[in-house]
């Protein structure tokens, strides 16, 4: 923790707002005490989950109590520092049992006990590791699946979560376990329940930032093992596998605590389910460097590193990850040593697969006999670990297993002991299994010791083969700002080299124009063009039918196999121009309404064709809109509800007539003015598609002064130009995807392209070259333009077709290219609203459900609080839960004034008071209420007014009355006449219930539980009303022992209190010797004590409490001891009294 102190001191010089402290391993244990005890020294905000909530999650008692309140199941457990007590528990729940310190991380000193002897040894070891905290014995659940949850929350609300499942059975430390995400074996019901549990726990512990949970699943039942309110080692794993930055979101969530702008920008992503890949994390061990160490894994972490890999499925990812650790796939010989009938039976199918893969199998005698009886050939080898056995068998000609190891003739050893992985941590060094494992490690032979891993490895080897395929779209994760978009569609394209240029530009589907030579206008030319396309295209394609005055019937017949009908109504590069409106009408009436009609129309021709479409009741798509006049016509038609869609070319969005020289700038429609270009951007919402109208005319052709052909090559640079517009704020990424994917699909009825997508780098800045890229034209009108955004990868049907500037074409890919089939859909008008969700980022699961809590049937609303007699265990738990909630809200500076706004508390104190009076007043004011004060010195009491009259008057002014009086029984008298609830704040030497409540609350906070504690009450117990109430209240807890320590018997606890405790089964002991009375106690409730008494305590507890003021009863030298809890005790009084006021006034937040 020294680095944290140093960092905090440095921050003052940097004027920093705060820091993040994500402690790992053992540092978490002491962080809470350190921060709370050094707030004045640190003078800096530490972002994230509060230290108190971290403590609640790490302390087994507090954590368990929360789970019980939430009705979340957990394995049975018990605190124990006594072997006999632990034996009784283990006998009750049954072995095996897990032994671990209550407050320790990384599995230190954790073990699984199978016998009483194991238990005694492990208890001793655990007690050494964590002396200050109790040892926990819990039921170990065999043959269960362990599940990890990584999540990010903001103020108790889950923003995102990921689930990993362990391959091994429960009992392997998560650092040593093989993790898989997204989970492959969990059904939807289980995942839904995991979500519910995660949401409940995040809310209960006010998680703020990253947190991690471990659960265990068996027989469709989930149990929570633990929750760590900190970042976990699996955060990078789930971040990369699921393509979502958990750390970045966690950082912003923590910063949002006092930054509303950040808080409002964060959205819930739910449970991430991944996309198109599975990640597997495997451990890396160093057993070969640890002479004599057993290779068996268990609940205590043993690995020295981890490796994760991705694959299309679990088997592929696992094999890649295993190979990455240095594991070598076996060549031929495999040694099997499988203990127990159950394990042999479970491995039967896997061993059969090994035989099917032609491996030579060897085994111990029992293993070989079993598999040979199941028609699997396994050669038995001699196991010469017992003295004399080896000589006899080798004399008979049987080779020894040791000889195989020494000659490195085994290429893999599968050793599965009867006590499976995780079930036994300490090795029996003389067993044959141990010697087998050590020989494998010492001879550098791959070794598998877990049955689930063995099965998965064999399955992976059978499914994937010896060398898993390399697939960069799955295996690689880039740090660049990449976005994955669906395959884009260019609805006006040309042939041959154009499809290579299209691929380089991120286009995976094209619509080929019919104005070729010869033009596509009948069956013969259709077949000619289709044949040429099928032989050369490297992307999916569709074919337009060109309209002529004489082919309405032919166009009708070709409609089912066409992308649509293309009508040229103005001059372009072809002989397809149609001048007669009568010919237009024939096509509009004849062409099937299930296919689109696409018109090249300019200026007034746009108005004409819109009228024809309206008269014939047909939808129409206007291509190449280029001027303000045209876009305004389309806008007005759309506003009137006419079925019209349109497209715009990138050269009309990014170039004007002034940007290119004569001849070169020839295109149809022509480049327009700056005003026309601006009009297109201003009316972007009415543009449905972007299309290049790619025409690969060469530079020489374009510079022919007599007949320069119209048209530009542009398909390769359309996406970078549009991404630049995105970076400039002219366009959103969603609008780009809509106009190049979803809208074309809808307008032209195009099918989905499975496993097809592109990846673009949004931040790559570069200059478009003069070469023209992949197009045969050899030039581009966009040369020299600086753009931001580049297509990095194109994947078509799962095959990488373009990566980092290189087109990879193979026969397999060419076979997949096919004509886009006709789709049975009417042309529909498209808008930005209502489009299919753009997959530009990680998929989100449905919104997480709201945390559900079952309300307790406990209420104090409208009730008096006069004595602890009125408080049962459930009521105490409810009060303390509300107090916990208020404490967390106060520490986070959350507003609470709305809770009791408009309510008034009457504070009637007939005795002087600092803590009780002030804490009640502070509690009321923090909740938004007002306080009316009355005391016996400045009120009508001086004139002789009775208590009853004063209470009657004050209750008329307030909603609740808090009374402190010097006479025993005064609170009951006040309650008899008050029209409002009365809270007893102390009546003479009678009771002080709210002090007793805060005392018990403090004990729970400091130690974690009240059950089973020994509490010493020291001092004048005869007249101390605080100890009277506390003694009574302790009776609601189990196995509490009370020591009464007084200077003389005359100052002992009153008999009626002793009788009360005795009647309820409490254990009581009286002492007049201070040293004897406080020996081996957990809590000392003090009225007089001195620091020297605690110089050498017999144990690391107890804590010291005092109701204050201490006067000279506690030396100030004790104040800086961590065990001095009295100031924390006084602070807790405010939270408890806040809870009481809210509950009595019927405004409890829970």
DSSP string computed for 950-1007? HHHHHHHH-SEEEEEESSTTHHHHHHHH-SS-EEEEEETTS--HHHHHHHHHHHHHHH
Residues in the chain: 1150
Span 1118-1135, pLDDT tens digits: 777 777 888 888 888 899
Identify whether the C-beta of residue 935 lies closer than 8 Å to the C-beta of residue 916.
no
Query: Any idea what DSSP says for residue 859?
Result: -
Edge-first strand listing for the sheet containing 1067-1071? 1067-1071, 1041-1045, 1014-1018, 1083-1086, 1103-1105
**What's the CATH architecture for 54-281?**
2-Layer Sandwich (3.30)
Identify whether the C-beta of residue 348 lies closer than 8 Å to the C-beta of residue 455.
no
Q: Which parts of 474-590 are beta strand (E)?
A: 482-486, 488-493, 507-512, 540-546, 564-568
Structure confidence at residue 592 (pLDDT): 94
Name the active-site residue from 399, 915, 1093, 1131: 915
Query: Any idea what DSSP says for residue 38?
Result: T
Which residues are within 8 A (CB) of 1059 and not within 5 positions of it... i.e. 6 or more apart?
none
Structure confidence at residue 1095 (pLDDT): 42
304-339 CB burial, b ≥16 within 10 A, e <16: eebbbbbbbebbbbbbbbbbebebebbeebbbbbbb
State whether CATH 3.70.10.10 applies to domain 868-987. Answer: no
Element spanning 53, H or E: helix 51-58
906 vs 902: CA distance, rounded Å: 13
DSSP-assigned beta bridge partners for residue 98: 112, 138
> Is 980 labeled as catalytic in the residue annotation?
no
Structure confidence at residue 40 (pLDDT): 40
Cα of 401 vs its chain's centroid, Å? 48
Largest separation between any pair of C-alpha atoms in the chain: 126
> Is 992 labeled as catalytic in the residue annotation?
yes
Structure token pair of residue 390? 């080896």
CATH of domain 993-1125: 3.40.50.1370
603 vs 799: CA distance, rounded Å: 44
Q: Which CATH class is domain 483-807?
A: alpha beta
Query: Any idea what DSSP says for residue 529?
Result: H
Structure token pair of residue 1149? 């937040």
Structure token pair of residue 506? 């991120």
Element spanning 682, H or E: helix 674-682
Structure token pair of residue 77? 């457990």
> Is 240 labeled as catalytic in the residue annotation?
no
1053 vs 1070: CA distance, rounded Å: 9
Angle between helices 27-37 and 51-58 (to 10 degrees): 140
Name the active-site residue from 289, 943, 1096, 1120: 943
Structure token pair of residue 658? 């002034």
Structure token pair of residue 798? 């799962």
Residue recorded with tokens 């029992």: 366
102-139 CB burial, b ≥16 within 10 A, e <16: bbbbbbbbbbbbbeeebbebbbebbbeebeebbbbbbb
Element spanning 1042, H or E: strand 1041-1045
SS3 content of the chain, % helix, strand, coil (to 5): 40, 20, 40
832 vs 733: CA distance, rounded Å: 12
DSSP string computed for 382-435? B---STTHHHHHHHTTPPBHHHHHHTT--SEEEEE-SS-TTS--S--TTSHHHH
Residue 210: HSE in the Cβ half-sphere, 13 Å Cα cutoff? 24
Name the active-site residue from 964, 973, 1106, 1137: 964
> Is 915 labeled as catalytic in the residue annotation?
yes
Closest CA to 78 of 66, 69, 88, 67: 88
596 vs 827: CA distance, rounded Å: 6
What's this model's pTM, rounded to 2 decimal places? 0.67
Structure token pair of residue 645? 């869609």
Dihedral sign of CA atoms 568, 573, 574, 577 in order: positive
1016 vs 891: CA distance, rounded Å: 31
Residues of the chain with pLDDT under 70: 1-18, 20-45, 81, 101-109, 125-134, 286-303, 384-399, 419-430, 479, 481, 492-496, 572-574, 809-858, 1088-1101, 1110, 1112-1113, 1117
Name the active-site residue from 452, 566, 793, 992: 992
Which residues are within 8 A (CB) of 546 and not within 5 positions of it... i.e. 6 or more apart?
514, 515, 519, 520, 521, 566, 568, 574, 576
19 vs 876: CA distance, rounded Å: 37
Structure confidence at residue 590 (pLDDT): 95
340-370 CB burial, b ≥16 within 10 A, e <16: eeebbebbeebbeebeeeebbbbbbeebbeb
SS3 (DSSP) at 730: coil
Question: Can 308-321+329-384+401-422+430-474 and 868-987 be said to share one CATH topology?
Answer: yes
> Is 1120 labeled as catalytic in the residue annotation?
no
Structure confidence at residue 23 (pLDDT): 55
Closest CA to 403 of 384, 377, 416, 389: 384
Q: Which CATH class is domain 308-321+329-384+401-422+430-474?
A: alpha beta
Element spanning 221, H or E: strand 221-228
What are the residue boundaries of the structural domains of the chain, listed by start? 1-46, 54-281, 308-321+329-384+401-422+430-474, 483-807, 868-987, 993-1125
Angle between helices 1055-1063 and 1025-1033 (to 10 degrees): 10
């Amino acid at each position: 923790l020294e680095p944290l102190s140093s960092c905090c001191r440095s921050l003052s010089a940097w004027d920093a707002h705060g820091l993040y402290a994500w402690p790992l391993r053992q540092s978490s244990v002491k962080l809470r005490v350190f921060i709370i005890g050094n707030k004045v020294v640190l003078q800096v905000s530490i972002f994230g989950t509060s230290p108190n909530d971290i403590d609640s999650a790490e302390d087994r008692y507090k954590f368990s109590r929360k789970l019980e309140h939430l009705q979340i199941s957990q394995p049975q457990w018990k605190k124990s520092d006594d072997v006999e007590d632990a034996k009784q528990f283990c006998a009750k729940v049954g072995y095996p049992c897990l032994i671990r310190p209550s407050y320790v991380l990384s599995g230190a000193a954790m073990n699984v006990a199978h016998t009483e002897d194991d238990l005694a040894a492990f208890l001793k070891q655990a007690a050494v590791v964590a002396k200050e905290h109790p040892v926990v014995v819990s039921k170990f659940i065999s043959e269960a699946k362990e599940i990890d949850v990584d999540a990010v929350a903001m103020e108790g609300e889950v923003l995102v979560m990921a689930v990993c499942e362990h391959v091994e059975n429960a009992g392997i430390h998560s650092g040593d376990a093989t993790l898989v995400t997204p989970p492959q074996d969990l059904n939807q019901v289980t995942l839904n329940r995991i979500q519910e549990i995660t949401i409940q726990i995040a809310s209960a512990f006010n998680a703020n930032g990253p947190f991690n949970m471990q659960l265990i699943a068996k027989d469709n039942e989930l149990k929570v093992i633990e929750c760590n309110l900190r970042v976990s080692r699996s955060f990078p794993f789930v971040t990369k596998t699921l393509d979502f930055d958990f750390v970045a979101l966690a950082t912003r969530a923590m910063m949002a605590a006092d930054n509303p702008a950040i808080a409002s920008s964060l959205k819930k992503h739910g449970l991430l389910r991944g996309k198109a890949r599975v990640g597997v994390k495997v451990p890396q061990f160093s057993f070969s460097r640890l002479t004599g160490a057993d290779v068996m894994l268990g609940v205590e972490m043993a690995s020295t590193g981890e490796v994760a890999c991705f694959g299309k499925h679990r088997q592929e990812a696992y094999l890649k990850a295993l190979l990455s650790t240095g594991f070598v796939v076996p060549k031929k010989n495999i040694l099997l040593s499988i203990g127990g009938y159950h394990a042999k039976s479970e491995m039967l199918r896997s061993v059969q697969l090994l035989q099917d893969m032609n491996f030579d199998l060897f085994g111990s005698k029992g293993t070989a006999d079993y598999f040979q009886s199941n028609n699997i050939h396994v050669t038995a080898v001699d196991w010469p670990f017992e003295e004399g056995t080896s000589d006899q068998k080798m004399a008979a000609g049987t080779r020894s297993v040791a000889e195989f190891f020494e000659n490195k003739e085994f290429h893999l050893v599968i050793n599965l002991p009867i006590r499976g992985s995780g079930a036994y941590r300490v090795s029996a060094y003389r067993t044959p299994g141990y010697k087998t494992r050590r020989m494998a490690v010492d001879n550098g032979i791959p070794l598998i010791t877990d049955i689930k891993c063995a099965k998965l490895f064999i399955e992976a080897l059978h499914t994937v083969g010896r060398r898993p395929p390399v697939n960069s779209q799955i295996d690689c994760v880039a740090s660049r700002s990449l976005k994955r978009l669906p395959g884009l569609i260019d609805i006006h394209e040309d042939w041959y080299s154009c499809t290579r240029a299209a691929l380089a530009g991120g286009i995976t589907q094209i619509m080929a124009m019919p104005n070729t030579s010869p033009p596509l206008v009948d069956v013969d030319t259709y077949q000619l063009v289709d044949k040429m396309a099928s032989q050369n295209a490297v992307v999916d394609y569709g074919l337009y039918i060109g309209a002529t005055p004489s082919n309405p019937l032919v166009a009708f017949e070709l409609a089912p196999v066409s992308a649509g009908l293309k009508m040229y109504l103005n001059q372009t590069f072809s002989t397809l121009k149609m001048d007669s409106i009568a010919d237009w009408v024939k096509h509009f009436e004849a062409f099937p309404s299930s296919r689109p009609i696409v018109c090249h129309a300019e200026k007034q021709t746009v108005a004409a064709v819109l009228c024809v479409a309206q008269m014939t009741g047909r939808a129409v798509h206007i291509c190449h809109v280029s001027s303000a006049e045209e876009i305004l016509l389309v806008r007005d038609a759309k506003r009137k509800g006419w079925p019209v869609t349109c497209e715009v070319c990138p050269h009309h969005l990014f170039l004007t007539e002034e940007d290119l020289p004569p001849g070169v700038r020839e295109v149809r429609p022509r480049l327009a003015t700056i005003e026309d270009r601006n009009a297109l951007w201003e009316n972007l919402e009415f543009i449905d598609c972007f299309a290049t109208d790619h025409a690969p005319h060469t530079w020489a052709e374009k510079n022919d002064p007599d007949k320069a052909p119209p048209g530009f090559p542009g398909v390769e640079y359309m996406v970078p130009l549009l991404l630049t517009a995105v970076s400039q704020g002219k366009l959103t990424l969603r609008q780009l995807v809509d106009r190049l994917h979803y809208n074309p699909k809808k307008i032209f009825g195009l099918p989905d392209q499975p496993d097809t997508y592109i990846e673009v780098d949004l931040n790559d800045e570069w200059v478009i070259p003069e070469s023209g890229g992949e197009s045969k034209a050899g030039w581009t009108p966009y040369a020299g333009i600086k753009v931001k955004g580049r297509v990095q990868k194109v994947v078509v049907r799962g095959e990488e077709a373009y990566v980092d500037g290189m087109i990879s074409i193979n026969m397999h890919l060419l076979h997949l290219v096919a004509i886009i089939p006709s789709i049975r859909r009417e042309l529909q008008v498209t808008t930005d609203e209502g489009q299919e969700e753009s997959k530009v980022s990680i998929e989100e699961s449905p919104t997480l459900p709201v945390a559900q809590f079952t309300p307790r049937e406990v209420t104090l609303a409208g009730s008096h609080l006069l004595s602890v007699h009125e408080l049962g265990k459930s009521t105490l738990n409810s009060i303390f839960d509300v107090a916990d909630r208020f404490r967390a809200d106060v520490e986070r500076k959350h507003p609470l004034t709305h809770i009791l706004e408009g309510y008034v508390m009457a504070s009637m104190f007939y005795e002087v008071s600092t803590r009780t009076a002030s804490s009640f007043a502070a509690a009321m004011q923090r909740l938004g209420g007002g306080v009316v004060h009355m005391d016996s010195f400045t009120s009508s009491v001086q004139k002789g007014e009775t208590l009853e009259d004063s209470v009657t008057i004050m209750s008329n002014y307030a909603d609740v009355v808090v009374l402190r009086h010097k006479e025993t029984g005064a609170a009951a008298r006040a309650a008899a006449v008050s029209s409002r609830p009365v809270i007893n704040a102390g009546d003479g030497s009678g009771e002080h219930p709210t002090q007793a409540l805060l005392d018990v609350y403090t004990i729970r906070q400091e130690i974690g539980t009240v059950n089973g504690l020994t509490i010493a009450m020291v001092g004048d117990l005869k007249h101390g009303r605080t100890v009277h109430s506390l003694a009574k209240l302790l009776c609601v807890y189990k196995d509490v022992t009370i020591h009464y320590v007084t200077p003389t018997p005359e100052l002992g606890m009153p008999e009626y209190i002793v009788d009360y405790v005795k009647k309820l089964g409490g254990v009581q002991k009286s002492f007049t010797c201070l040293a004897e009375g406080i020996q081996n106690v957990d809590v000392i409730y003090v009225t007089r004590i001195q620091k020297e008494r605690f110089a050498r305590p017999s144990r690391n507890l107890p804590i010291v409490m005092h109701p204050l003021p201490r006067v000279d009863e506690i030396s100030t030298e004790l104040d800086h001891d961590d065990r001095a809890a009295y100031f924390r005790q006084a602070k807790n009084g405010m939270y408890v009294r806040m809870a009481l006021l809210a509950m009595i006034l019927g405004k409890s937040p829970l």
